[in-house]
């Protein structure tokens, strides 16, 4: 009787532990409408290394209808996205997974205003969303060119942060993606960094969605940081003693077509376009409801282990009868 009681007690402990692990891992998730979502260098490698399930990409393509307006710097995202399918498929990836059409992403959607640095971008957004032909649009994204560098704290509020927030109030069924300005070589003491930090702080404090353009330009794929080395949009850096180009240096020591892919990338290098493409697909998946966990396999292992232990104990206890 004591043996049976101990076995049953152990099984109960195992089950409680399993439930605890499941709840713990499921709490390490992404955007849940009560927290900010930040697409930056830290998540780009999830797509680069194929750590995100195909189903997350497929759901995004079936769920989202994105309107995106940009000039040359913002085209880096599009050019990276357009070259990504061939690269992934040539390395054994699922056919057509990263292909997309204009129903999913309407590029140049609000072209009456070139990019978010120009006056009237918010009204161009309203015109687009108020058009019945665009009633399925559920994501709006604008990019900067170089204008973020010249904003003051107040003009950033007046020209960008307040209008974006107002649009969110007016169109509650649409997700609005904020964006930082591209790096310009002025470093951590420069005005651009202050304005980008202002955007980041606003997004974090108010649970916004942010594509951190500048952050992605400040790290190589191995997460080496160049933001404190006066990095610019071409990926050039200079710390006063040494200089280089993080993208070209990384490309030179890795295999094209295997570790990185060639693509157009205005004002910059192919690898920068690669990283922008990886980060934006992560963002699309998140906006479509994908819940990030540390690792599906990592979560599964303890559950499998505990399940096997439970069955083993049951079998042993039955044999002892």
Residue 7 has pLDDT above 80, yes or no: no
- Count other Cβ atoms within 10 Å, centred on residue 320: 9
How far apart (Å, rounded) are the C-alpha atoms in residues 230 and 235? 10
Q: Where are the domains of the chain?
A: 1-25+300-321, 35-292
Q: What is the pLDDT of residues 172-210, one digit of tens each?
A: 999 999 999 999 999 999 999 999 999 999 999 999 999
pTM of the model: 0.83
Write out 174-188 in H/E/C secondary structure. CEEEEECCCCECCCC
**The token pair that represents 257 in the structure block:** 């077509």
Q: What is the pLDDT of residues 246-259, one digit of tens each?
A: 999 999 999 999 99
Residue 219 DSSP class: B
How far apart (Å, rounded) are the C-alpha atoms in residues 116 and 70? 7
Mean pLDDT of 4-21: 47
Query: Which residues share a beta bridge with 39?
Result: 211
Residue 170 DSSP class: H
Residue 50 has pLDDT above 70, yes or no: yes
Structure confidence at residue 34 (pLDDT):
84
Is 268:43 a contact under the CB 8 Å cutoff?
no
Question: CB neighbours of 182 closer than 8 A, spacing ≥ 6?
Answer: 73, 144, 145, 146, 148, 213, 214, 217, 233, 267
- Topology of 35-292 in CATH? Rossmann fold (3.40.50)
Structure confidence at residue 23 (pLDDT):
40
């Amino acid at each position: 009787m004591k043996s049976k009681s101990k076995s049953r007690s152990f099984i109960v402990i195992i089950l409680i532990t399993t439930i605890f692990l499941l709840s713990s891992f499921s709490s390490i998730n992404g955007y849940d409408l009560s927290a900010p979502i930040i697409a930056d260098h830290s998540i780009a490698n999830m797509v680069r290394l194929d750590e995100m399930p195909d189903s997350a990409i497929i759901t995004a393509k079936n769920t989202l209808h994105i309107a995106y307006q940009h000039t040359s710097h913002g085209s880096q995202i599009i050019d990276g996205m357009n070259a990504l399918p061939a690269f992934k498929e040539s390395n054994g990836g699922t056919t057509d997974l990263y292909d997309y059409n204009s129903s999913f992403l309407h590029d140049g959607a609000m072209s009456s205003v070139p990019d978010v640095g120009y006056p009237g971008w918010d009204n161009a957004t309203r015109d687009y969303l108020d058009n019945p032909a665009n009633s399925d649009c559920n994501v709006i994204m604008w990019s900067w060119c170089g204008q973020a560098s010249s904003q003051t704290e107040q003009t950033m509020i007046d020209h960008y942060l307040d209008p974006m927030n107002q649009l969110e109030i007016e169109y509650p069924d649409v997700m609005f993606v904020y964006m930082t300005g591209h790096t310009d070589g002025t470093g951590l003491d420069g005005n651009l960094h202050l304005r980008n930090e202002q955007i980041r702080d606003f997004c974090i404090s108010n649970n916004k969605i942010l594509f951190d353009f500048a952050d992605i330009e400040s790290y190589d794929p191995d997460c080496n940081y160049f933001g404190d080395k006066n990095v610019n949009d071409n990926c050039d850096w200079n710390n006063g003693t040494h200089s280089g180009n993080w993208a070209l240096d990384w490309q030179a020591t890795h295999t094209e077509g295997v570790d990185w892919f060639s693509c157009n990338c205005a004002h910059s290098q192919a690898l920068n376009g690669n990283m922008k493409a990886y980060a934006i697909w992560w963002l699309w998946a998140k906006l479509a409801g994908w819940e990030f966990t540390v690792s599906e396999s990592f979560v599964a292992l303890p559950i499998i282990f505990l399940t096997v232990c439970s069955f083993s104990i049951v079998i042993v206890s039955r044999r002892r009868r």
